[in-house]
Amino acid sequence: MLSSLEIALYVFMLATFLGLEVIRKVSPLLHTPLMSLTNAISAISVVGAILITSAQGATPLSKVLGFIAITAAVTNIVSGYLITDRMLKMFKKPEDKR
Amino acid sequence: MAHLVNYIYLVSAALFILSLKWMNSPVTARRGVFAGEIGMLMAITGTLLAHEVFNWQWILAAFLIGTAAGIPIAYLMPMTAVPQRTAMSHACGALAAALVGTAEFYREPNQPKYVLVALIIETLLGFLTFTGSLMAMGKLQEILPQRPITYRNQNLTNLGLFAVAAALGVRLILVPTDTWIFPIFAGLSLLFGVLLIIPIGGADMPTVIALLNSYAGLSACAMGFVLDNRMLVIAGALDGSSGLILSIIMCKAMNRSFTNVLFGAFGQIQMKHGAAEQRPVHSASAEEAAAILEASSSVIIVPGYGLAVAQAQHKIRELSDALMRRGIDVKFGIHPVAGRMPGHMNVLLAEADVPYDRLWGMEEINAEFPQCDVALVIGANDVTNPAARNDKSSPIYGMPILDVDKAQTVMVIKRSMRPGFAGIDNDLYYLDKTLMLFGDAKAFVTDILKELPMAVAAAR
């Protein structure tokens, strides 16, 4: 049986290669929205922040750090997705012009 | 329920991958954002439902504050300020990861060694990316000087500092009960982030932002190892590889290596080129420029960041529309480092309603210049300098450029003969086929637009 660490390393390796392949195909046209999208996605660290804050018997330190972490991550999630969509809306299809 | 959440995470991870996959074309990109949103919503809801939630007031308050801050940022931020916003969100993401790592360390220092290794990586990267991104934001917002801030033995100091921070990290992994070391470790990581970015010049910001993006992702990824959560590992790895690819693209576009960007303090070396001899140039008026454009059949517009500084995006779109109505073929040739972050110029032009099939990347457009009548350069400098192709002594030699000099006629709108970021004189301006149009980009394009109908009348 693989240990938890080994499974995580396999997942990491595969996700990295997959990420490199998928991102390579993104048009340079969209590199700015891509970066704000990946930013929003990496704010998934909010999950860790929730676990820390919501744990039974969380110390005041945990609660304060977790609170700041959730606030920062949620700011990224909300602004990241919304601004990506706002940018993408600007990319007009060629036929829209005529 | 505790099992179900793992399946929810699995679906979330799949949605994140699809989200990035759909970014490969402007047609499917908005669907990608939607997939990402659903993935995030599922992950958060799943987490809240799967565990007994204590301190829900804290969580609710944090969500409300985060949302209240996020919405105005997304809707009010001008597109020219997107690089600053991106740097700020790298800072927020990295801070979140670093603080979760810190809280986890103080909660239970006695963890398996591999967890501690991941935790130290998470906090080190998180803290240094936090302050580093704040510095990058300050430079982009021009609160901090754009020029590299340098001092003697800078690289040695920085490396030494990093070595000390890393050594303390190793010590914490070996003897985690010495919790008093942690604040020193965190403080040095924060300081290193500042020192890493201040020697980097404004022109290198696209690379730096992409690199910080990568670090922030890897920090979230390390958190996945600490919390034994595969979805975090996947999302973090996707972000990490995205940042890595973008920074490689930026480095290639500037013909620089990572070490050169991080330790080179670009913009200092070229000072000696300051006193170039005065050479004659041809200049032209808006009237003449309008007549030449009117008589051409294909035009390539080469925009640089100066275009955005002059807020001339909308005027240049009007000009391209006016030319296209006359049956002239107009394309925009965009260098990868034309803006302040990867792809920035495309967003600025899209905002001005330039349809995206008019926006051409460097490699495709370079095949077009020899057949093009007029290349109109606005606010771009170093990326059009033929010295990058043929002058081995030039500091920018080898950098891929837009082959503007191969067009029949070149027109350059520029305020003065002042050199660009790299501080190098541009040979393009002294060619016989080059006409310098001196003035503010927006004002000059407006003047050309005014002259265009008269040019038609004159031609009849």
d(C-alpha B113, C-alpha B340), whole Å: 41
Portion 67-86 of A in contact with B at CB < 8 A: 67-86
Q: In chain A, which residue's Cα lies nearest the Cα of B83?
A: A32
Would you call B237 and A76 a contact, using CB atoms and an 8 Å cutoff? no
Portion 18-37 of A in contact with B at CB < 8 A: 18-20, 22-37
Q: In chain B, which residue's Cα lies nearest the Cα of A88?
A: B30
What residues does B361 pair with on adjacent strands? B334
Residues 6 or more apart from B275 whose CB is under 8 A from it? none
Mean pLDDT of all residues in A8-36: 95
Phi-psi region of B398 (alpha: psi -120 to 50; beta: other; left: phi over 0): left
For B254-276, the DSSP string reads: TT--HHHHHHS-TTSGGGGGGSP
Residue A69 forms part of a structural domain:
yes
Residue B404 forms part of a structural domain:
yes
Looking at the structure, do residues B218 and B292 belong to the same domain, yes or no?
A: no
Residues 6 or more apart from A14 whose CB is under 8 A from it? none
Amino acid symbol at B261: V
Residue B421 has pLDDT above 70, yes or no: no
Question: Among partner residues A12, A38, A84, which is closest to B239 by beta-carbon distance?
Answer: A38
d(C-alpha B422, C-alpha B255), whole Å: 13
Give buried/exposed letters for B364-395 (b at 16+ CB in 10 A, else e).
Answer: ebbebbeebbbbbbbbbbbbbbbbbbeeeebb
Residue B340 forms part of a structural domain:
yes
Residue B100 has pLDDT above 50, yes or no: yes
Q: Six-digit token pair at B43?
A: 């992950």
Q: Provide the shortest C-alpha distance from residue B460 to chain A (in Å).
A: 27
Assign A98 a pLDDT band (cuts: 50, 70, 90).
very low
Residue A20 forms part of a structural domain:
no
Looking at the structure, do residues B443 and B355 belong to the same domain, yes or no?
A: yes
Provide, as residue numbers in chain A, all residues whose Cβ is less than 8 Å from the Cβ of B30: 85, 88-89
Residue A39 forms part of a structural domain:
yes
Q: Which residue has the higher pLDDT, B392 or B34?
A: B34
Amino acid symbol at A98: R
Q: How many structural domains compose chain A? A: 1
Q: What percent of chain B has pLDDT over 70?
A: 93
Domain edge (last residue) among B267, B295, B319: B267
Provide, as residue numbers in chain B, all residues whose Cβ is less than 8 Å from the Cβ of A35: 86, 209-210, 213, 242-243, 246, 341-343
Q: What percent of chain A has pLDDT over 70?
A: 96
Residue A57 forms part of a structural domain:
yes
Report the helix count and the strand count for chain A, using DSSP H and E: 4, 0
d(C-alpha A91, C-alpha B358), whole Å: 11
Stated as kind and residue range, the H or E segment containing B432 is none
B80 secondary structure, DSSP code: G
Mean pLDDT of all residues in B435-452: 92
d(C-alpha B413, C-alpha B440), whole Å: 8
Would you call A29 and B26 a contact, using CB atoms and an 8 Å cutoff? yes
pLDDT of B137 reads 95
Mean pLDDT of all residues in B217-244: 95
Residue B277 has pLDDT above 80, yes or no: no
pLDDT of B382 reads 85
pLDDT of B280 reads 85
Would you call B236 and A44 a contact, using CB atoms and an 8 Å cutoff? yes
d(C-alpha B427, C-alpha B405), whole Å: 10
pLDDT in tens, A48-94: 999 999 999 899 999 999 999 999 999 999 999 999 999 999 998 77
Per the prediction, chain B carries an average pLDDT of 90
Would you call B65 and A88 a contact, using CB atoms and an 8 Å cutoff? no
Looking at the structure, do residues B261 and B308 belong to the same domain, yes or no?
A: no
Residue A7 forms part of a structural domain:
no
Provide, as residue numbers in chain B, all residues whose Cβ is less than 8 Å from the Cβ of A53: 55, 58-59, 62
Provide, as residue numbers in chain A, all residues whose Cβ is less than 8 Å from the Cβ of B183: none
B157 secondary structure, DSSP code: H
Strand order across the B329-334 sheet: B359-361, B329-334, B298-303, B374-378, B409-414, B434-438
Determine whether A98 is exposed, middle or buried from the number of CB atoms within 10 Å of its CB (0-12, 13-18, 19+).
Answer: exposed
Residue B296 forms part of a structural domain:
yes
Amino acid symbol at A6: E
Determine whether A25 is exposed, middle or buried from the number of CB atoms within 10 Å of its CB (0-12, 13-18, 19+).
Answer: exposed
Residue A96 has pLDDT above 60, yes or no: no
d(C-alpha A90, C-alpha B298), whole Å: 26
pLDDT of B149 reads 82
pLDDT of B270 reads 43
Residue B107 has pLDDT above 70, yes or no: yes
d(C-alpha B187, C-alpha B128), whole Å: 9
Give this prediction's pTM: 0.91
Residue A23 forms part of a structural domain:
no
The answer to whether A79 touches B70, Cβ cutoff 8 Å, is: yes
pLDDT of B417 reads 80
Mean pLDDT of all residues in A34-50: 95
pLDDT of B271 reads 44
Q: How many structural domains compose chain B? A: 3
The answer to whether B376 touches B257, Cβ cutoff 8 Å, is: no
Residue B383 has pLDDT above 60, yes or no: yes
d(C-alpha B342, C-alpha A32), whole Å: 6
pLDDT of B422 reads 63
d(C-alpha B193, C-alpha B199), whole Å: 11
Domain edge (last residue) among B209, B236, B267: B267
Residues 6 or more apart from B460 whose CB is under 8 A from it? none
Looking at the structure, do residues B16 and B85 belong to the same domain, yes or no?
A: no
Question: Among partner residues B66, B216, B238, which is closest to A75 by beta-carbon distance?
Answer: B66
Q: Six-digit token pair at B37?
A: 């949103």
pLDDT in tens, B211-223: 999 999 999 999 9
Residue B233 forms part of a structural domain:
yes
Closest C-alpha among B211, B131, B212, B202 to residue B165: B131
Looking at the structure, do residues B349 and B374 belong to the same domain, yes or no?
A: yes
Question: Among partner residues A23, A27, A48, which is closest to B227 by beta-carbon distance?
Answer: A48
d(C-alpha B242, C-alpha B228), whole Å: 23
Question: Among partner residues A45, A69, A88, which is closest to B30 by beta-carbon distance?
Answer: A88
Looking at the structure, do residues B134 and B262 belong to the same domain, yes or no?
A: yes
d(C-alpha A49, C-alpha B83), whole Å: 26
Residue B135 has pLDDT above 80, yes or no: yes
Residue A73 forms part of a structural domain:
yes
Q: Six-digit token pair at B124?
A: 């080190």
Would you call A11 and B63 a contact, using CB atoms and an 8 Å cutoff? no
Q: Provide the shortest C-alpha distance from residue B117 to chain A (in Å).
A: 12
Residue B103 has pLDDT above 70, yes or no: yes
Stated as kind and residue range, the H or E segment containing B201 is none
pLDDT of B269 reads 45
Provide, as residue numbers in chain A, all residues whose Cβ is less than 8 Å from the Cβ of B356: 29, 91-94
pLDDT in tens, B298-356: 999 999 988 888 889 999 999 999 999 999 999 999 999 888 899 999 999 999 999 99
Mean pLDDT of all residues in B177-188: 95
Residue B274 forms part of a structural domain:
no
Active-site annotation of B, residues: 382
Residue B282 has pLDDT above 60, yes or no: yes
Residues 6 or more apart from B372 whose CB is under 8 A from it? B298, B299, B300, B407, B408
pLDDT in tens, B44-99: 999 999 888 999 999 999 999 999 999 999 999 999 999 999 999 999 999 999 99
Would you call B58 and A24 a contact, using CB atoms and an 8 Å cutoff? no
Assign B204 a pLDDT band (cuts: 50, 70, 90).
confident
Residue A52 forms part of a structural domain:
yes
Q: Which domain holds residue A38?
A: 28-91
Amino acid symbol at B169: G
Provide, as residue numbers in chain B, all residues whose Cβ is less than 8 Å from the Cβ of A2: none
Q: Which domain holds residue B345?
A: 280-459
The interface pTM score, or ipTM, of the predicted complex is 0.95
Domain edge (last residue) among B53, B72, B93: B53
Helix (H, G, I), strand (E, B) or coil at B373: coil
Residue B151 has pLDDT above 90, yes or no: no
